[in-house]
Amino acid sequence: MMLIRNVFLSIAMLLSLSVIAQEQMTFSSELNKTRYQSLVEELRCPKCQNQNLADSGSGIAVDLRELVHQMIEQGKTDQEIVDYMVARYGSFVLYRPQHSTATFLLWYGPFILLGIGLLAFISVVRMNRKRRGRDL
């Protein structure tokens, strides 16, 4: 029982450290703070499989949050920051990949498969109707 309690306390301490680290950053304007929060929630941690920069406690995520903060304070646009991250770490860092020929199947593949399945279903139903018409 004591081990479980210690594990939960350790997890809570780690989570609070990431919150404290974000709270220590000072921004020149409220807009910059909002932009920062939006960007770190939209960019994926390169080390973690499915966490954004805001939620990740890995060392690289901490460094990238600081880099995003610096770039915002330097006057870089959101697109410049995203472009830098993509150039450095690849499109993996984007939770919503950009529309391109490389991501065509990612965006539209489910709809294409749904359409194919619907066409197959309709053709099977029509063939069964024709077969029943002949059997009568």
Return averaged pLDDT per consecutive 10 residues of the chain, 136 residues in all. 69 57 74 92 85 87 92 93 90 76 80 95 92 72
Prediction pTM value: 0.59
Of 81, 35, 88, nearest to 60 (Cα)?
A: 88
